């Protein structure tokens, strides 16, 4: 899971009025991919299961196909997996994020120098 430095800008990809993907959803996708579980990913991120489930539901609704497939729990367990489309979404988002951050690196550094050091904590 990629977690960017707090002093870097955070990128959100907006389509219409909805946030298609931002750092929280991208991190959640990566955590689900790593853990195979929405609840484990939520715990790892310090997020409620309900919040994680709502984000998964919105991503599955907002994209052209299923991003996260879920298997019901019970005797045989359960789990979640990131689909190939979900993996492509993660990769494209990270590529866009890297390009955007590289293009504004100098300006962000200069802007940061204008901030009160107390504000950075």
Residue 121 confidence class, pLDDT cut points 50, 70, 90: low
Residues in the chain: 121
Helices 23-35 and 38-45: crossing angle, nearest 10°?
130
The CB-side HSE value for 30 (13 A sphere, CA atoms) comes to 16
Name the fold adopted by 18-120: Arc Repressor Mutant, subunit A (1.10.10)
Say what the pLDDT of residue 115 is: 81
For residue 76, the model assigns a pLDDT of: 67
The 10s digit of each residue's pLDDT in 51-98 is 999 999 999 998 999 999 998 876 667 899 999 999 999 999 999 999
Average of per-residue pLDDT values in the chain: 86
Structure pTM? Answer: 0.80
Q: What is the pLDDT of residue 7?
A: 60
Residues 6+ apart with CB under 8 A from 25: 19, 55, 59
Residue 2: the pLDDT is: 47
Top pLDDT among 27 and 118 is at 27
Check residue 3 and give its pLDDT: 46
């Amino acid at each position: 899971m990629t977690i960017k430095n707090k002093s870097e800008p955070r990128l959100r990809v907006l389509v219409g009025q909805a946030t298609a993907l931002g750092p929280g959803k991208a991190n959640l996708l990566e955590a689900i991919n790593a853990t195979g579980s929405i609840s484990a990913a939520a715990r790892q991120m310090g997020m409620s299961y309900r919040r994680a489930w709502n984000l998964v539901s919105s991503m599955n609704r907002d994209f052209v196909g299923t991003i996260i497939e879920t298997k019901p729990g019970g005797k045989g367990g359960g789990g979640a997996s990131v689909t190939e489309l979900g993996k492509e979404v993660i990769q494209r988002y990270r590529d866009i994020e890297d390009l955007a951050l590289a293009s504004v690196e100098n300006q962000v550094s200069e802007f940061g120098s204008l901030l009160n050091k107390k504000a950075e904590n």
